[in-house]
Amino acid sequence: MLNKSATDTQVTHLQRLWLYALCTLVIFFLIIPTLLVIPMSFSDSRYLSFPPESWSLRWYRAYFSSAEWLQATAVSFKVAFLTMILATTTGTLASYGLHTTRARMGKYMMVLLTMPMIIPVILLAVGIFLTFAPVGLNSTIAGLVLAHTVLAIPLVMITVTAGLKNFDINQEMVARSMGASRPWAFLTVTLPQIRNSVLSGALLAFIISLDEVVIALLIAGGDKATLTRRMFLALRDEIDPTIAAISTLLIVFSVVMLALSQFLQSKK
């Protein structure tokens, strides 16, 4: 079997064995480190050995009994949820408007709205900190939501625009010819059909906000600290093993999100 040809240039599997080995290593490199955190979080010792010498749930208990960690978690999820709502609505509306308009401004606006993606986050963070200071938006939920929304809008727009490109705009035209005003046609005909793109974008917005570290580091202080900020500070100062438990929970959450997004993709 190893002598069977594997490519269009008649290279056999045997000759490509090194490639298979290398790729396997790379795949291991990609997923093993993250997965190792899971069993380590059940380790009883402070030094998180692998494999754990003794198993316990002490780090999970530490997390669930810590007011600060739970507060930070609540903040993170609240901000992520609100970001998802705000970014998805503003992004979807903008995508629709720019997709259908003939105005020349449309192209420039699209570039402008996707710009936050290419600007280094540290810059955005510093700038937003500066801008929020005089209006007291630093260390507030509202401020965080606004900042994260700006990060999420480009991705929502890219996703929704792709969905709109696959949508047959004739359907909206037919609906309008039958008597539907433009907003009504959008709501009853277009939106239900780009639903998967919009939901994908919403999911991305949620995850971006949840995972965001740099901006949260600079502007989310005090009791409005996010989970990411706490984790970062804890990691920088001393490796608190509770983080292993939190990480495991986050990993499970990520896998669920990934599965959801793949599901939505397959239904497009």
Residues 29-88 that bind other proteins (CB under 8 A): 29-31, 33-34, 36-37, 40, 47-50
Please report, as residue ranges, which positions from 134 to 163 form the binding site for other proteins (by CB under 8 A).
146-147, 149-150, 153, 157
In one letter, which amino acid is 228? T
CB of 214 to other proteins, least distance (A): 5
* 3-state class percentages of the chain: helix first, strand second, coil last, to nearest 5: 75, 0, 25
Say whether residue 223 binds other proteins (CB under 8 A): no
Identify whether the C-beta of residue 83 lies closer than 8 Å to the C-beta of residue 148: yes
Considering the complex, state which of residue 64 and residue 167 has its C-beta at the smaller distance from other proteins.
167
CB of 19 to other proteins, least distance (A): 6
CB of 65 to other proteins, least distance (A): 21
Q: How far is C-alpha 147 from the geometric centre of its chain's CA atoms?
A: 14
Omega prior to 241 cis, within 30 of 0: no
Record the tokens describing residue 230, joined without a space: 């706490």
In one letter, which amino acid is 247? S
Q: Which of 224, 228, 242, 264 binds other proteins (CB under 8 A)?
A: 228
Rounded to whole angstroms, the Cα distance separating 92 from 104 reads 20
Record the tokens describing residue 213, joined without a space: 């570290």
Say whether residue 26 binds other proteins (CB under 8 A): yes
Q: Cβ contacts of residue 17 below 8 Å, gap of 6+? A: 2
CB of 88 to other proteins, least distance (A): 11
Cα of first residue to Cα of last residue in the chain, in angstroms, is: 38
How many residues contact other proteins, by CB under 8 A?
104
CB of 224 to other proteins, least distance (A): 17
Distances (CA, A) of 244 to 6, 38, 217, 254: 42, 7, 20, 15
Considering the complex, state which of residue 113 and residue 224 has its C-beta at the smaller distance from other proteins.
113
Say whether residue 194 binds other proteins (CB under 8 A): no
Stretch that binds other proteins, among 8-16, 53-61, 64-72, 158-166 (CB under 8 A): 8-16
Considering the complex, state which of residue 198 and residue 243 has its C-beta at the smaller distance from other proteins.
243
CB of 33 to other proteins, least distance (A): 4
Identify whether the C-beta of residue 160 lies closer than 8 Å to the C-beta of residue 91: yes
CB of 245 to other proteins, least distance (A): 11
Q: Which of 123, 166, 263, 268 binds other proteins (CB under 8 A)?
A: 123
